[in-house]
Structure 1
Amino acid sequence: MDLVTILDIAKMANVSRTTVSRVINNSGYVSEEVRERVMKVIKDTGYVPSQQAKSLRTKETKVIGVILPRISTETASKIVAGIDEVLSKEGYQILLATTNLQVEKEIEYLRLLVNRHVDGIIFVATNILPEVVEEIKQVQVPIIVVGQNMPDVSSVFNDDYHAAKFLTELFIKRGKKRIAYIGVPETDYAVGVERKRAYLDALTEYHIEVNEKWVVHGSFEIESGYQCMKEIIDKSETLPDAVFAATDRIAIGAMSLLKEKNINIPDEISIASIGASDISKYVTPKLTTIDFENVRAGKAAAELLLSKIKGETIKKEKIILSYRLREGNSI
């Protein structure tokens, strides 16, 4: 059969085009007998309503834009998996955009997705730059930010501060007092600022002096962890007895350097981090790390976005996710 149109359905069912439209969109009164007759014709012909035409009627596209800093990271893939699990059940499709950590791209994709008439946007953010915040506030569709507590914007984010403080205190309670820290640039507020602040606060509260030579910053890459650990060792007269790495990848790089130097983990230097990445289970020794359960972050963001799309009353515009320790053998 040639492509079936809504007019064809109306003729076959001996009803008006408007009646068919009411049956398809479940709007307006149609008698049960007529509804069954129309539905039988639709079933017999295999008619599928045009999504574009339906979008024009309902002003919905059933598409959600998702902006990611990088698509290749494990964190991003888990967040997207959580988003998709929730949205696919509601008949939504996902349109992915990756910024490669470029602010200009973030703004460009925000505007592009709005022009594509998506029903909503989930923005996985790595910073809270004023120009990005301002652009988000101008967006005319429901939007959820993931990963950062963005001012005046609905956000789903991790409890980075308390997780990092818990991990630092874990070192202290295990008898460690010379604790180094390897962090990331502070343009990333959650990972770069909050985790470092928690580390410093914990040392202060336990009256442990901060050794500035043991507080270094690199990037998110494994190689950066290696180089930062080398920097700490090269400029230290006394070695730290523990290293808090801001991410698992940094920790793995640091562990590689320690092994090259024949420094035993954890007997001489303990190490722990945040991320609970898959690879952290397979390094030796097995890495002690904090699990933020990123799939759950994606689910929470999708559920919050759906509530906003449906116009439901939102009880919490800010969702702070909990954390749990996944203990290995590195402390």
Structure 2
Amino acid sequence: MVTINDIARQAGVAKSTVSRYLNNGSVSLATREKLDKIVKETGYTPNTFARSLKATKTNMIGVIIPRLNSASTNEVLSGIDQKARESEYDLIITNSNQDRERELGNIQTLINQKVEGIILLAREITERHRKLINDANIPFLVLGQKAEAIHSMAYSDYEAGYKIGQYAIELGHRDFLFFGVSEQDKAVGLERKNGFLESLKDTTDTTVKIIETSFSKKVAYQDAIDALPNSKASYVVCATDNIAIAVLKAAVELKYSVPEKFSISGFGGYEETDYVQPTITTMSYPYKEMGIQAVENLTKLVNGIDIPYETLLPNELIVKNSTIKR
């Protein structure tokens, strides 16, 4: 039996575009003519009951966040909320608390609530995610991770890691300690680390020790207390600003002077990095802008307007007082 997924693949368009076409929504003339032909050739017959349910406009957007105590998530949400209000959409926000089963359940719950589209701030996209998304028959937008064949918006995390490495090398540093997180989070745990490591390849006599810690400041602080006394690093790279703040606290507890003993930098551009001493060098990300653009992009998908499957947002190195020349 021919499905809506089959039609979308043959036409080379998003499933949401086929859905708009079937419900007489906004689709370009060229796309409509292409779909007319494919539907005729395949003999596809849409489910009338399902179409009647989908045709009901709810003016609701579902949002799934990975955790509540995240500065970056809060900034993205502020952008989503601002643009949703301007666009007269109501939000249903659910929290997965970094639990995969809970996240998958949240997706199904939002689908059952008849939201017009879903924004997922993702850690990873598994095959189970893909099946739910493909079967949902509503626009879906992943934030923070690249997702093949699913509309996504991500940051240039590999580039950010590379920039930090280049900056540290230019300052004369050669011995590094890298506090990362699980590679299960591909953007923060993998791409930032890989970009940093790649930036060191053309420089001789560099050493790197990698420690996998947690997004939790409490855990990162304890890991730093254990690792710093045994480290010869002159530069400590932290995969997030929260980890950098925790490492700085550990350095103070150990009576190490930063940046004289070692430099520290993070990723995120969190406001909190301006309220510690020394202030922390960081890669700044446009979190609120991502939230605004996410609603803009999802609205286009809801209205049958095709957008690129992948959107990458830039980052910027903000040099503060926690890094110096070696």
Of residues 60, 69, 72, the one that matches 2:66 is 69
Cα root mean square deviation, aligned: 1.7
Where do 1:41-60 residues align within 5 Å?
59-60=56-57
**What is the SS of the residue equivalent to 1:325?**
strand
Q: Which residue of 1 aligns with 2:44?
A: none
Post-superposition shift, 1:207? Answer: 2.8
| Distance in 2 (alpha carbons) for counterparts of 1:272 and 1:95 | 35
> Could you report, residue by residue, the CA deviation over 1:91-112 in whole angstroms, capped at 9, with x for unpaired residues?
1000001010111111111111
1:323 aligns with 2:315: yes
1:38 maps to what in 2? none
Aligned to 1:267: 260
Which whole-Å CA distance do the structure 1 matches of 2:238 and 2:54 have between them?
A: 52
Matched, 1:197 2:194: yes
291, 300, 303: which one aligns with 1:298: 291
Partner of 1:159: 156
Where does residue 113 of structure 2 map in the other structure? Answer: 116
> Structure 1: how far apart are the matches of 2:122 and 2:54?
33
CA deviations over 1:172-225 (Å, ceiling 9, x no partner): 1011111110001111010001111112111223234334xx210110011222
Against the structure 1 CA distance between its residues 248 and 286, is the aligned structure 2 distance closer, same or farther, given a 3 Å change threshold?
same
Aligned partner of 1:244 in structure 2 is 237
Q: CA deviation at 1:232?
A: 2.5
AA aligned opposite 2:62: G
The CA deviation at 1:57 is: 10
* C-alpha displacement of 1:287: 0.6
Looking at structure 2, the residues matched to 235 and 274 of structure 1 have their Cα atoms a distance apart, in angstroms, of 24
Superimposed CA distance per residue, residues 106-129 of structure 1 (whole angstroms, 9 cap, x where no aligned partner): 111111111111111001101233
Q: Is the 8 A contact 2:163 2:317 kept in 1?
A: no
Q: Distance in 1 between matches of 2:106 and 2:252?
A: 43
Q: After superposition, where does 1:271-282 map in structure 2 within 5 Å?
A: 271-282=264-275
Q: Post-superposition, which runs of at least 4 consecutive aligned residues in structure 1 deviate over 6 A?
A: none
Displacement after TM superposition at 1:264 (Å): 1.2
Deviation at 1:313, TM superposition (A): 3.1
2 CA distance for matches of 1:222 and 1:277?
Answer: 14
SS at match of 1:108: helix
Q: Which moved more, 1:67-76 or 1:92-101?
A: 67-76
2:65 and 2:120 in contact (8 A); partners too: yes
Instruction: Report whether the alignment pairs 1:226 with 2:225.
Output: no
> 2:317 aligns to what SS in structure 1?
strand
Identity value in percent: 29
Q: Deviations over 1:130-173 (max 9, x none)?
A: 32233223221101000100111000111000011101111110
Q: TM-score, normalised by structure 1?
A: 0.79
Change over 3 Å in CA distance of 1:299–1:61 after alignment to 2: same
Residues 275 and 134 of structure 1, relative CA distance in 2, 3 Å threshold: same
Larger Rg: 1
Return the letter of the residue paired with 1:222.
K
Q: Counterpart of 1:328 in 2: which secondary structure?
A: coil
AA paired with 1:160?
A: D
Residues 58 and 153 from structure 1, CA distance in 2 versus in 1: closer, same or farther, beyond 3 angstroms?
closer
8 Å CA contact 2:221, 2:247 repeated in 1: yes
Please list, as runs of the form range in 1=range in 2, the aligned pairs for 1:145-184 lying within 5 A after superposition.
145-184=142-181
